[in-house]
C-alpha cells in the first residue's frame, strides 16, 4: 500500500459527528442495494454546530438504473453527472450528489478535465457509510487520484513551496467553475489546515510528477468547459433539488454578501429562475 493510499484511507476513516452518520445512513437507505458509499465533505466538516447549516454529501451507487426508478433521472445522471437532491433528516438539512462507482473513479482521475470532483476530494472528506469493504476500497482508490491530479493540472513551478503549490492549484480550480465565494477563499482552503496539506504534500507531489505530460496544464479550456457545465448543472439541479432557487439565492447571499430576493414567478418556475439569476450574478461578481 502506498503512503498516499494510507493517508487517504486514514483520513476518510476518521470519525464524524454521529448526527452526520445518521443522515448518511438515511440517504443510503433510500437507494437500497444500489447504495455503495456516502462521503461527507465541505465546510460543515470543520463545524461542530450543524443546526442551520446545509450538510454536503456524495452518494456513490453501483449503477444509475439500479438507483433510480425514473428513467429520465437515470439518463440525466449518466449524461451530465451528478444529480443533486435535497434531504432532511432529524431536523438537519443536506444536499447530496449521486455518482456511480465508475463515474466517481473517472471524475477523480487525471483523464477528466473538469475540476468539480477531483478538486473537492483533494480536500478533506469522511467516508461516513459504506456497504462493505469493497465499496470502501473503491472509494479510497478513487479519491487517492484527486490530490495528484489537482497538483499535476496546476503544473510545477521551480522553487515554489508545496503549500503555495496547493494554494495556486485551488485558485485555478475556483476560476474554472461558477463559484459563489469571496476572493481569497481558495487560499483559505489550505490555510485552515496547513498541517494536513503539508502531510499530504510529498506523496501527492511524487505521484503528480509521474503524471507530467498526461494531465493538461492549459486552463483556458477548463474554464470554458467548467463554467458551461456549471450552468447546465445549475439548471438540472433546479429540477431535481427541492427549494433549488431558494438554496441558490441563500448560498450566494451567504458567501458573496449580496441580498438577492426571489420573485414569486421564480419560485413557481425553478428552471427559469436558475437561468434568470445567472446574468445578474455574473455582472455583480457574486459568482466568478
Q: What local confidence, expressed as pLDDT, does residue 179 receive?
A: 58
Pairing of strands 92-100, 125-130: unpaired
Rounded CA-CA distance 56/247 in Å is: 13
Rounded CA-CA distance 263/260 in Å is: 10
User: Mean pLDDT for each consecutive 10-residue tract of the chain (288 residues)?
Assistant: 91 97 98 98 87 92 96 93 90 94 97 93 98 98 98 96 97 77 67 97 97 88 79 71 63 65 69 62 52
Q: At what angle do helices 194-210 and 3-12 cross, to 10 degrees?
A: 140
Q: What local confidence, expressed as pLDDT, does residue 286 receive?
A: 47
Rounded CA-CA distance 275/124 in Å is: 32
Predicted TM-score (pTM) of the model is 0.84
Q: What local confidence, expressed as pLDDT, does residue 148 receive?
A: 98
Domains of the chain, earliest start first: 3-219 (3.30.460.10), 220-284 (no CATH)
Q: What local confidence, expressed as pLDDT, does residue 277 receive?
A: 64
Rounded CA-CA distance 49/22 in Å is: 16
Q: Which parts of 68-114 fold into alpha helices (H)?
A: 71-79, 101-107
Of the candidates 287, 288, 248, the residue with the CA atom closest to the CA atom of residue 270: 248
| DSSP of 194-239 | HHHHHHHHHHHHHHHHHTTTTS---HHHHHHHHHHHHHHHHHHHHH
Cell of 259: 441580498
How far, rounded to the nearest angstrom, does the alpha carbon of residue 32 sit from its chain's CA centroid?
23
170-185: burial string, b at 16+ Cβ within 10 Å, e else: bbbbbbbbbbbbeeee
Taking a C-beta distance cutoff of 8 angstroms, is the pair 38, 60 a contact? Answer: yes
Taking a C-beta distance cutoff of 8 angstroms, is the pair 136, 37 a contact? Answer: yes
Taking a C-beta distance cutoff of 8 angstroms, is the pair 97, 58 a contact? Answer: yes
Q: Looking up cell 491530479, which residue turns up?
A: 149
H or E segment to which residue 121 belongs: helix 118-121
Sign of CA dihedral 74, 270, 85, 281: positive
Question: CA neighbours within 13 Å on the CB side: how many for 238?
Answer: 22
Rounded CA-CA distance 51/58 in Å is: 20
Please report, to the nearest 10 degrees, the dihedral formed by the alpha carbons of residues 232, 235, 236, 242 taken in order: 150
Of the candidates 40, 52, 46, the residue with the CA atom closest to the CA atom of residue 254: 52
What single-letter DSSP state applies at residue 31? T
Amino acid at each position: 500500500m502506498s503512503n498516499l493510499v494510507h493517508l487517504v484511507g486514514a483520513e476518510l476513516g476518521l470519525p464524524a459527528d454521529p448526527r452526520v452518520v445518521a443522515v448518511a445512513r438515511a440517504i443510503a437507505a433510500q437507494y437500497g442495494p444500489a447504495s455503495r458509499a456516502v462521503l461527507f465533505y465541505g465546510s460543515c466538516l470543520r463545524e461542530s454546530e450543524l443546526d442551520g447549516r446545509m450538510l454536503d454529501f456524495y452518494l456513490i451507487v453501483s449503477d444509475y438504473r439500479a438507483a433510480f426508478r425514473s428513467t429520465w433521472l437515470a439518463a440525466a445522471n449518466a449524461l451530465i453527472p451528478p444529480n443533486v437532491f435535497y434531504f432532511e433528516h432529524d431536523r438537519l438539512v443536506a444536499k447530496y450528489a449521486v455518482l456511480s462507482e465508475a463515474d466517481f473513479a473517472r471524475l477523480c482521475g487525471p483523464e477528466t478535465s473538469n475540476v468539480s470532483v477531483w478538486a473537492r476530494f483533494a480536500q478533506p472528506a469522511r467516508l461516513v457509510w459504506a456497504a462493505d469493504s469493497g465499496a470502501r476500497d473503491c472509494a479510497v482508490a478513487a479519491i487517492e487520484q484527486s490530490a495528484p491530479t489537482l497538483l499535476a493540472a496546476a503544473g510545477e513551478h521551480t522553487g515554489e513551496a508545496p503549500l503555495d503549490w496547493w494554494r495556486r492549484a485551488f485558485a485555478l480550480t475556483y476560476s474554472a467553475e461558477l463559484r459563489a465565494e469571496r476572493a481569497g477563499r481558495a487560499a483559505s482552503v489550505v490555510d485552515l489546515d496547513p498541517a494536513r496539506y503539508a502531510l499530504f504534500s510529498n506523496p501527492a507531489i511524487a505521484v503528480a510528477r509521474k503524471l507530467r505530460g498526461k494531465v493538461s496544464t492549459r486552463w483556458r479550456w477548463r474554464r470554458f468547459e467548467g463554467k458551461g457545465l456549471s450552468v447546465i448543472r445549475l439548471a438540472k439541479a433546479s429540477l431535481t433539488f427541492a427549494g433549488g432557487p431558494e438554496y441558490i439565492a441563500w448560498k450566494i447571499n451567504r458567501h458573496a454578501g449580496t441580498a438577492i430576493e426571489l420573485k414569486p414567478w421564480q419560485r413557481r418556475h425553478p428552471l427559469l429562475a436558475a437561468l434568470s439569476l445567472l446574468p445578474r450574478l455574473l455582472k455583480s461578481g457574486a459568482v466568478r
